[in-house]
């Protein structure tokens, strides 16, 4: 029987084919996602081979978290490819879901987004929500917005992420990144700390818990520009999700607070563009003008789509209007093709250690000095290759 290729070789091969995701599961052959379609290829990996690959990718601290919670998120450069990795326990054994990132600089222009999005980061304070379903490019757009700030202004940018997917390289701005679980125990604690750390721009990787949402709104109210992502398909749904996360007795005050600090909502999804023969972000853009703020305060979120439809003067775009703009676009930016034959690299700090048994005891905790941030070149992904 043919010996399965190494995890590093498998990732490089998947990346060279334009895959956005790679899936490994004990007892199953590898699967890759190319242009949104899942394709199963090769021979099945045994439980021991899959466990060994997972252990190879994880540091001691990562493996201890996996042992405790049966899942862990991490970022690595493997076989020359930047990856975001989720290791998790399944009924068959160990599973891995690996997101493969393209290597080019993300900006509003290179992502083929409308130039009006650049104005979102001109604001000195307020809350900007980047929304969409899983696989819609939310993190890519946030990276592009940060890139716009970094190229134009000297501002203090602080990010709170789990895990850190990219190391943002400072140009004009002063950039700090904190990883939940390593640099801070929680999003909530990092947000409390952030209010004492003098940031101009705050990037919050996710707002799922009410306490995180409350602190995020407070940061936007107190003079910071806050960028964060929400899983939703429309602007009104994103606002509804934030408000409904709180107890009913305080939803009125939360609505008033949200109306006060909200700057804009961008909801996007990746769609095939026949004009460009590629995948591109298709957006709904809502700017928080007087009418939008009134709808939020009064709990009349159902009126928001009609206001967006007639709000072009304020920089709003309905999805249909945005689609027509995409159809008329001629200056498409195309990503570079993946490089072939990248040299094999050690995938993680744990590469030299042998595979652990199925139920390993927790290893000793490494010293803080051994847990460095993996440096990732660039801060972006390509929407043609990457589905978030």
Mean pLDDT of 166-190: 89
Asked whether the predicted pLDDT for residue 31 surpasses 80, the reply is yes
Which pair of structure tokens corresponds to residue 309?
């439809």
Q: Tell me which of 102-116, 256-270, 329-343 is least confident.
A: 329-343
DSSP class of residue 344? Answer: P
Distance CA 151, CA 173 (A): 8
Q: Tell me which of 123-137, 247-261, 335-349 is least confident.
A: 335-349
Asked whether the predicted pLDDT for residue 371 surpasses 80, the reply is no
Instruction: Give the burial string for 242-275 (b: 16+ CB within 10 Å, else e).
Output: bbebbeeeebeebbebbbbbbbbbbbbbbbebee
pLDDT band at 376 (very low <50, low <70, confident <90, very high): very low
Let me know the angle formed at the C-alpha of 67 by 62 and 68, rounded to the nearest 5 degrees. Answer: 100
Asked whether the predicted pLDDT for residue 148 surpasses 50, the reply is yes
Predicted local confidence at residue 277, as pLDDT: 83
Predicted local confidence at residue 209, as pLDDT: 86
Cβ proximity of 77 and 13 under 8 Å: no
Residue 141: closest CA among 92, 186, 95, 106: 106
Give CA 193 to chain center in angstroms. Answer: 22
Which pair of structure tokens corresponds to residue 75?
């970022």
Predicted local confidence at residue 78, as pLDDT: 87
Asked whether the predicted pLDDT for residue 383 surpasses 60, the reply is no
Asked whether the predicted pLDDT for residue 364 surpasses 60, the reply is no
pLDDT band at 103 (very low <50, low <70, confident <90, very high): low
Domains located in the chain, CATH noted: 7-101 (3.30.450.90), 115-328 (3.40.50.300)
Average pLDDT over all residues of the chain: 84
pLDDT band at 302 (very low <50, low <70, confident <90, very high): very high
Work out the percent of the chain whose per-residue pLDDT is above 90.
62
Question: In degrees rounded to 5, what are phi and psi of residue 247?
Answer: -55, 150
Which pair of structure tokens corresponds to residue 104?
């080019």
Work out the percent of the chain whose per-residue pLDDT is above 70.
84
Better pLDDT: 104 or 338: 104
Asked whether the predicted pLDDT for residue 276 surpasses 90, the reply is no
Asked whether the predicted pLDDT for residue 377 surpasses 50, the reply is no
pLDDT band at 382 (very low <50, low <70, confident <90, very high): very low
Predicted local confidence at residue 267, as pLDDT: 97
Cα 224 to Cα 144, 178, 242, 253, distances in angstroms: 19, 17, 19, 20
pLDDT band at 374 (very low <50, low <70, confident <90, very high): very low
Which pair of structure tokens corresponds to residue 23?
């899936």
Asked whether the predicted pLDDT for residue 262 surpasses 80, the reply is yes
Better pLDDT: 26 or 388: 26
Mean pLDDT of 198-219: 92
pLDDT band at 101 (very low <50, low <70, confident <90, very high): confident
């Amino acid at each position: 029987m043919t010996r399965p290729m190494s995890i590093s070789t498998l990732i490089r091969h998947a990346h060279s084919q334009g895959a956005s995701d790679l899936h490994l599961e004990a007892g199953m052959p590898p699967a890759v996602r190319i242009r949104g379609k899942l394709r199963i290829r090769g021979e099945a990996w045994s439980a021991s081979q899959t466990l060994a690959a997972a252990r190879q990718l994880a540091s001691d601290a990562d493996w201890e978290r996996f042992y405790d919670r049966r899942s862990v998120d991490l970022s690595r450069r493997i076989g020359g490819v930047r990856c975001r990795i989720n290791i998790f326990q399944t009924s068959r054994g160990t599973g891995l879901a690996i997101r493969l990132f393209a290597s080019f600089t993300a900006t509003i222009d290179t992502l083929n987004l409308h130039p009006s999005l650049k104005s979102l980061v001109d604001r000195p304070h307020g809350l900007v929500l980047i929304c969409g379903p899983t696989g819609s490019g939310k993190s890519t757009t946030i990276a592009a917005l940060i890139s716009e700030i970094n190229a134009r202004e000297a501002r203090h940018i602080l990010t709170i992420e789990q895990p850190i997917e990219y190391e943002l390289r400072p140009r004009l701005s002063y950039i700090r990144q904190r990883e939940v679980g390593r640099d801070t125990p929680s999003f909530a604690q990092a947000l409390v700390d952030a209010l004492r750390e003098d940031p101009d721009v705050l990037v919050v990787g996710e707002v799922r818990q009410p306490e995180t949402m409350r602190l995020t709104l407070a940061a936007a109210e107190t003079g910071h520009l806050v960028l964060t992502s929400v899983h939703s398909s429309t602007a009104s749904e994103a606002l509804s999700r934030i408000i409904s996360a709180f107890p009913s007795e305080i939803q009125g005050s939360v609505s008033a607070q949200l109306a006060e600090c909200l700057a804009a909502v961008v909801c996007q999804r990746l769609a095939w563009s026949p004009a460009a023969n590629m995948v591109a972000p298709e957006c709904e853009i809502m700017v928080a003008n007087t009418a939008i703020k009134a709808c939020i305060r009064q709990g009349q979120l159902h009126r928001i789509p009609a206001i967006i439809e007639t709000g072009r003067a304020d920089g709003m775009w309905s999805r249909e209007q945005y689609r027509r703009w995409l159809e008329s676009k001629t200056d498409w930016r195309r990503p570079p093709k993946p490089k072939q034959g990248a040299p094999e690299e050690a995938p993680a700090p744990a590469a030299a250690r042998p595979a652990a048994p199925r139920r390993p005891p927790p290893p000793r905790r490494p010293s803080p000095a051994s847990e460095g941030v993996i440096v990732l070149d660039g801060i972006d992904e390509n929407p043609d290759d990457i589905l978030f």
